[in-house]
Structure 1
Amino acid sequence: MEDYLSSGLKTLFVYLFILFLFRLMGKREVGELSILDLVVSIMIGDIAVLVLEENDKPFIRTIYPMFVLAMVQIALAFFSLKSVRFRYLMDGQPQIIINQGKIDEKVMRSQRYNFNDLLTQLREQGISDLNEVQFAILESSGKLSVIRNSQGKKSKGIETPYPLIIDGQMQEKNLAYIGKDKYWLLHQLKKHGDLNLNEVSICGYINGQFYIDKKESKKKPKA
């Protein structure tokens, strides 16, 4: 009985101690955690498990690493407030994914951010047509901030976007959804500048309208 009581009190104390540490480190939403915050949170969680399992070591000694991690995180957060360069070094820098309606593939590659990620996050914000987007910024937390095109037309009723080409790959299922085939798509590409599949980063189809974003040319201009 004493073992159960001791284990329960120990668990309660560890819970309250971790709660205190996180309050000490500052309030941050889960979706806005930086890489540093995430690493510290995971490490504190892992140490807490060891604290509850190790009964042969002094209790203060087992929780001491959690306190050290919290102090390190607070110190780094302080330096981040004082120095923009240090903040970008620790948390990363926001990156513009869509600039004036044009997708920046170089930035996407550097952030290991693919077109499916982009379309998913746009849909989560109620955007089904890429023509509505003027700027899309990938924040250091991984969240996509979108500035809509003020001249973009809002769709009437519910419209479903159909990506037909993603990174040069034809999406045959989506072609079937709209009752078309690959020959129709190739014909449409020919009408829109005689394009090949491997020249297209993304091709969308909504409400009978096409959105085509060409891949950036990798060829360097001649001197």
Structure 2
Amino acid sequence: MWHDLMAVQIPIVEKVLRTIAVYALILVLFRLVGKRGLAGMNTFDMVVVLLLSNVVQNAVIGNDDSLLGGVVGAVTLIAVNSAVTRWLARDPKAARLLEGTATTVVEDGRLVPGALRSLALRPSELEHAIRIQHGDGLGEVARARLEPDGQLLVALKPDEQGATRGDVEDLRRRLAEIERLLTAIAADRRPPR
């Protein structure tokens, strides 16, 4: 039993190379699909990810069902992903190449022509992102863009943004000053006794 768990049935170098090749293939596939594929996982996306993991499983493990073979594949996958992530954090050109750039979908309250279609983004998804980020509608949006990581960022027009604590404190200071001035004016207008 222990022998079956620990005996790797294909060479470790082959296992590492298989894992790296499958990782690179999936990275390229997700890059070709684009940002929309990562923007929000719906039921269909989840089914695809689950099936994809099953489809590529044999490509990664080969004819090896040993525990040690699985550990080698998992460690290789985590190590490669960590190395790629660190590389992208240090090299903006590589990040642009592998991740892409942000795509503006709304500019000054108007949809950018063709942007939603090219990203396969539904208007309801955009409206949901606007509501989550404290907007009520498209007209309140200064700019919205889909980031390379699939996150939809919405910047509201200045007049449509909610008040901050600083805004409220500024109002309190101004009101206190107005009250002080009104009290001073009222005191100046009182007839002398």
| TM-score normalised by structure 2 residue count | 0.47
| TM-score normalised by structure 1 residue count | 0.42
The structure in which a higher percent of residues are helix is: 2
Give the structure, 1 or 2, with the largest relative contact order (CA under 8 Å, sep 6 or more): 2
